[in-house]
Structure 1
Amino acid sequence: MIDTEHVVQRFLKYVSFDTQSDEDNDAVCPSTPGQLVFAKALAEELKAIGLSDVTLDEHGYIMATLPANGAEGPVVGFISHVDTSSDASGKDIKPVRVTDYDGKDVVLNEARGIVFSTKAFPEVLKYKGQDILFTDGTTLLGADDKAGITAIVSAMEYLIQHPDITHGMIRIGFTPDEETGRSAALFDVKQFAADFAYTVDGGELGGLEYENFNAANPVITFHGRSVHTGDAKGKMVNALSIAAEWQQLLPAGEKPEYTEGHEGFFHVYKLNGDVETCTMHMLVRDHDRQRFERRKALLQQMADFFNEKYGDGTVVVTP
């Protein structure tokens, strides 16, 4: 029987590491030093529980092997990522543990009035009667994807401790910078040497995703002209206003908050800048390749429209 408390404490140890990645830093891998700190600790743990061929390269990629113990078959791999999203802080995480969840709203941080709402997230009701880990609402928890790492490491440890369970060779791999879209860039598939592999990341209990979308992460740059507001009429070009116009021109119903299943979308998730220059970060997703290419083409058509309206070079799309 699995020691649940042991698994929980492993997870809590993992989330104590600040491993946010930085999508703006593509000069080095990993994009943040905290990922390598965690990777080194994780590699040592893999050796300690008895895995073999544990490797950690200078970029933070970890690989290890659980040798076969009598069963024959293909080499199976399991993969997770060590980094967490930059959308919210991943430092000094304060977990909130709810035991025997009663199905009601959860007060995460009374001092700040932060409440986890069942109306906003009704899927939590599936886990009524179970124990759930939250944060206090001021940071990420880091379950994406330290829960995946916890599951893989705990499964390997269980198999090592129970040699009566026969299995073939298992390879595990932990990667950096998944949240930036660059985790596969330096992943050595030949070294990993699995016949097939599963990524353990996200989804509800028992879920299995066997397909993927086409993805692009374009950056849209808007160039304006800053003029003193007292003399701005007919002269000022406000990059922020153009960015807002761009957002409104995107197909209204094709955004994540309105789509599901195989429906593709455009998603603006970050906007920085001022009157002179503004940069917009977007996600473009679609399961259908032809529709995906049309989505990318639409962005360039929009840029052409704005450049004709406001002047050449006003909008630049970087794929």
Structure 2
Amino acid sequence: MQHIIDRFISYVTVDTESDPNSDTTPSTAKQWDLAHKLVEELKAIGMEDVTIDEHAYIMATLPSNVDYEVPVIGFISHFDTTPDFTGANIKPQIIKDYDGGDIVLNKEQDIILSPSYFKDLLQYKGQTIITTDGTTLLGADDKAGITEIITAMEYLIQHPEIKHGKIRVGFTPDEEIGRGAHKFDVAKFGAEWAYTMDGSQIGELEYENFNAAGAKITFKGKSVHPGYARGKMINSMLIANKFISRLPKEEVPEKTTGYEGFFHVTGISGSIEETTVQLIIRDHDSKKFEKRKKLVKKIADELNRKYQKQYGGDVAVAEVKDQYFNMREKVEPVMHIVDIAERAMRDLGITPIIKPIRGGTDGSQLSYMGLPCPNIFAGGHNFHGKYEYVPVESMQKAVEVIVRIAELTAEKK
């Protein structure tokens, strides 16, 4: 288990935060630091055909050790961390034999990881938990997945008695900003199907995800001296506020669960003359997803009609762009790939938790690119913030699931 801890910490202490405002791939130069490290590590453990392209996409091969035909499968994770919370200067804390009580992340700032608020913690009493120091995220999303894949490949190389077919692994940049699969070469990867190791708690197995879109709404105004503004000033910030207030108040992330979709305001900046609102739109149901996108346009149009005469043009310009779609449509025709993962978990005494992803993974885009790609747990909790943690035993179980999937895929029918 210490081997997994050491490997994981060596990854999370490298800052790989991605940047949605960058046009490059990877979006930040610092992602190269971990990418190059992973390439060298893959070579060191004995993987073959280790490559990294000009955009930092990494691929490697574990050759088959059987003399009969077996489907080529893959395992994929991303090495960037979200820009939602800082990933610089991560100082992981290792809590051994967790006692089920509060974990003090940062005494000076009184930051506490408590099971009274994060009830999932109680599942891991007696286990080893890796946390943050309360000032950064941890990066288990998705460096836990990378740790698990490399450790599983290393185990298979060291145990040739375990029979498996050809296995491909892939590590991507920029997943957290929705671009992880954009430049992934599916043909080069050459797998019949794959699994992303990018889920949360132990047992998660997912083949449904949100349909997703991003929206940018720009609001225009007119600045006039406030002492003489009556009937003249148009404050774009107040118009933006009217727009936000028209969105369904109960359909936000903090009030929805399961298959329920939402609107989520992710950013707002502006002045009297111009204000920009950033919004994400999510729904599992494709028809409801389309209605949500139309509602954004409808509210903008209504504001334009209201202020048309006073402003002399549109005060709200809504740009809505699709990001990814529900992979269920592409996975259901090949449900045996989900069945294999489910059987692997059950064989290891893990109860599968099959549920929709309230988000997206590289797998959702890859499934539409011709590589069906369900998602398997990586073990972490509370992603994208200072309360993130991962039980080491969950990472160990994920390693075992990868190995078992390889075995099951190579079974003679």
Instruction: Using structure 2 for the length normalisation, give the TM-score.
Output: 0.74
Q: Could you tell me how far 1:41 is from its partner in structure 2? A: 1.2
CA distance in 2, matches of 1:211, 1:137: 32
Q: Could you tell me how far 1:142 is from its partner in structure 2? A: 0.8
Q: Could you tell me how far 1:224 is from its partner in structure 2? A: 2.0
Classify 1:116/1:234 alpha carbon distance in 2 versus 1 (closer, same or farther; 3 Å): farther
Match of 1:201, SS state, is strand
| Residue 175 (structure 2) aligns with | 178
User: Which one-letter code corresponds to 1:31 in the other structure?
Assistant: S
Aligned pairs (5 A) from 1:121-270:
121-270=118-267
User: Which one-letter code corresponds to 1:35 in the other structure?
Assistant: Q
| Residue 61 (structure 1) aligns with | 57
Q: Which runs of 4+ in 1 moved over 6 A?
A: none
Match of 1:217, SS state, is strand
User: Which one-letter code corresponds to 1:58 in the other structure?
Assistant: E
| Residue 101 (structure 1) aligns with | 98
User: Which one-letter code corresponds to 2:262 in the other structure?
Assistant: F
Q: Give the one of 41, 44, 57 matched to 1:45.
A: 41
CA distance in 2, matches of 1:230, 1:127: 62
Aligned pairs (5 A) from 1:61-100:
61-70=57-66, 72-100=69-97
Q: Deviations over 1:59-78 (max 9, x none)?
A: 01001001111164211111
Match of 1:45, SS state, is helix
Q: Could you tell me how far 1:117 is from its partner in structure 2? A: 2.7
User: Which one-letter code corresponds to 1:64 in the other structure?
Assistant: A
Q: Could you tell me how far 1:111 is from its partner in structure 2? A: 0.5
Aligned pairs, number: 315
Match of 1:299, SS state, is helix
Q: Could you tell me how far 1:203 is from its partner in structure 2? A: 1.6
| Residue 316 (structure 1) aligns with | 317
CA distance in 2, matches of 1:96, 1:231: 58
| Residue 368 (structure 2) aligns with | none
CA distance in 1, matches of 2:216, 2:271: 16
User: Which one-letter code corresponds to 1:315 in the other structure?
Assistant: A
Q: Could you tell me how far 1:272 is from its partner in structure 2? A: 2.0
Q: Could you tell me how far 1:208 is from its partner in structure 2? A: 0.5
CA distance in 1, matches of 2:262, 2:37: 38
Q: Give the one of 28, 32, 38 matched to 1:36.
A: 32
Q: Could you tell me how far 1:295 is from its partner in structure 2? A: 0.6
Contact 1:36–1:59 (Cα < 8 Å) also in 2: no
Unaligned runs of 5+ in 1: none
User: Which one-letter code corresponds to 1:318 in the other structure?
Assistant: E
Q: Could you tell me how far 1:310 is from its partner in structure 2? A: 2.5
Contact 2:199–2:205 (Cα < 8 Å) also in 1: no
CA distance in 2, matches of 1:299, 1:163: 56
Contact 1:72–1:167 (Cα < 8 Å) also in 2: no
CA distance in 2, matches of 1:11, 1:152: 11
CA distance in 2, matches of 1:204, 1:292: 27
Answer 1 or 2: which has greater helix percent.
2
Unaligned runs of 5+ in 2: 321-413
User: Which one-letter code corresponds to 1:43 in the other structure?
Assistant: V
CA distance in 1, matches of 2:191, 2:74: 6
Match of 2:199, SS state, is coil
Instruction: Using structure 1 for the length normalisation, give the TM-score.
Output: 0.95
Q: Could you tell me how far 1:98 is from its partner in structure 2? A: 1.3
RMSD: 1.3
Aligned pairs (5 A) from 1:103-118:
103-118=100-115
Q: Deviations over 1:201-257 (max 9, x none)?
A: 132112110122211111122222222332233222222222222222111111111
User: Which one-letter code corresponds to 2:36 in the other structure?
Assistant: K
Contact 1:75–1:194 (Cα < 8 Å) also in 2: yes
After TM superposition, the structure 1 stretch with the greater mean CA deviation from structure 2, 209-218 or 304-313, is 304-313
Classify 1:267/1:48 alpha carbon distance in 2 versus 1 (closer, same or farther; 3 Å): same
CA distance in 2, matches of 1:225, 1:121: 47
Q: Could you tell me how far 1:105 is from its partner in structure 2? A: 1.9
CA distance in 1, matches of 2:188, 2:138: 32
| Residue 360 (structure 2) aligns with | none
CA distance in 2, matches of 1:150, 1:227: 57
Identity score, percent: 56
Classify 1:272/1:120 alpha carbon distance in 2 versus 1 (closer, same or farther; 3 Å): farther
CA distance in 2, matches of 1:223, 1:123: 45
